[in-house]
């Protein structure tokens, strides 16, 4: 089974490694640098993947490629999982499709975009952005895939300053992508998913940091199981 990891750190151990070990999968991980992906070459680079993992990261130069990888996975029904920045890229790709415009982007990466897909959680009077970090509780939407995956594990390790623009939740839903978890205040989208896609799910936090040898995060288990079905 080939899982493609859109790499922000080439040759790093994949976040899905613990999950593959528990499932007993012979995982062929192919790392592709995000900055090498564009709309013209996405099919050449990704068409034979059984799953696409979009990792976290802080380099905004990787965002454009991750968005194109998410778009390709969506349109071709290849399982896609997004971790933090990866989830942001997924939501942005769907927002562009829903609103039929590429002038939608993460404010951090594309400050001049007509529509911000992700905006600061809060900006103080001193201009400093609120930084949400640490282990935080999340509220799961009953009946969602994410709720079924996590069960009682309703918390996530966070490290972010931006959130999904709430105005985009309705356009995302027109294509079947919904918010399936919020933060404790209900104002920050913690997870997105699509019920009509083989697997298209991401979390704003860092599920990969909660994975351990013998105890992988449930989101990564579910992703690899979906990739195996796709293969």
pLDDT of residue 160: 78
pLDDT of residue 86: 96
Quickly state the pLDDT bin for 191 (edges 50, 70, 90).
very high
Task: Measure the CA–CA gap between 92 and 137, rounded to whole angstroms.
Answer: 24
In this predicted structure, the answer to whether residue 121 has a pLDDT above a threshold of 70 is: yes
Higher pLDDT, 135 or 86: 86
In this predicted structure, the answer to whether residue 125 has a pLDDT above a threshold of 80 is: no
Task: Measure the CA–CA gap between 169 and 112, rounded to whole angstroms.
Answer: 21
Q: What is the pTM of this model?
A: 0.90
The residues spanned by each domain of the chain are 2-230
Contact present, 229 and 202 (Cβ < 8 Å)? no
In this predicted structure, the answer to whether residue 229 has a pLDDT above a threshold of 80 is: yes
- Chain-centroid distance of CA 179 in Å reads 12
Alpha-carbon distances, residue 44 vs 30, 48, 69, 99, 206 (angstroms): 14, 8, 11, 26, 29
Contact present, 207 and 219 (Cβ < 8 Å)? yes
In this predicted structure, the answer to whether residue 11 has a pLDDT above a threshold of 50 is: no
Alpha helices by DSSP H, the chain = 17-23, 42-46, 63-76, 85-99, 145-150, 169-174, 218-230
Which tens digits make up the pLDDT trace of 80-117?
A: 999 999 999 999 999 999 999 999 999 989 999 999 99
Tokens of 181: 């978890």
* φ/ψ of residue 43, rounded to 5: -65, -45
In this predicted structure, the answer to whether residue 66 has a pLDDT above a threshold of 90 is: yes
2-230 topology per CATH: Rossmann fold (3.40.50)
pLDDT of residue 134: 82
Quickly state the pLDDT bin for 15 (edges 50, 70, 90).
confident
Higher pLDDT, 87 or 231: 87
What number is the average pLDDT over the span 45-69?
Answer: 94
Closest by CA to 57, choosing from 90, 34, 38, is 34
How many other C-beta atoms can be found within 10 angstroms of the C-beta atom of residue 46? Answer: 20
What number is the average pLDDT over the span 221-226?
Answer: 94
Which tens digits make up the pLDDT trace of 16-44?
A: 677 888 888 888 889 999 999 999 999 99
What number is the average pLDDT over the span 214-229?
Answer: 91
Which tens digits make up the pLDDT trace of 153-183?
A: 688 888 878 899 999 999 999 999 999 999 9
């Amino acid at each position: 089974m080939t899982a493609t990891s859109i790499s922000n750190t080439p040759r790093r151990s994949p976040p899905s490694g613990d999950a593959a070990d528990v499932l007993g999968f012979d995982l062929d991980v192919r790392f592709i640098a995000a900055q090498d992906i564009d709309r013209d070459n996405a099919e050449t680079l990704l068409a034979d993947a059984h799953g696409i993992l979009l990792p976290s990261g802080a380099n905004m130069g990787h965002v454009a490629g991750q968005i194109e990888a998410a778009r390709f996975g969506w349109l071709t029904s290849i399982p896609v999982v997004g971790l933090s920045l990866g989830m942001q890229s997924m939501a942005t790709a769907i927002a562009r499709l829903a609103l039929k415009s590429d002038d939608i982007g993460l404010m951090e990466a594309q400050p001049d975009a007509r529509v911000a897909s992700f905006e600061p959680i809060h900006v103080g009077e001193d201009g400093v952005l609120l930084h949400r970090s640490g282990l935080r509780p999340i509220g799961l939407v009953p009946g969602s895939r994410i709720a079924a995956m996590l069960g009682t594990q309703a918390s996530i390790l966070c490290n972010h300053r931006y959130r999904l623009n709430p105005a985009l939740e309705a356009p995302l839903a027109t294509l079947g992508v919904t918010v399936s978890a919020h933060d404790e205040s209900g104002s920050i989208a913690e997870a997105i998913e699509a019920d009509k896609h083989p697997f298209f799910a991401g979390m704003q936090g860092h599920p990969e940091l909660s994975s351990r040898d013998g105890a992988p995060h449930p989101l990564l288990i579910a992703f690899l199981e979906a990739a195996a079905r796709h293969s």
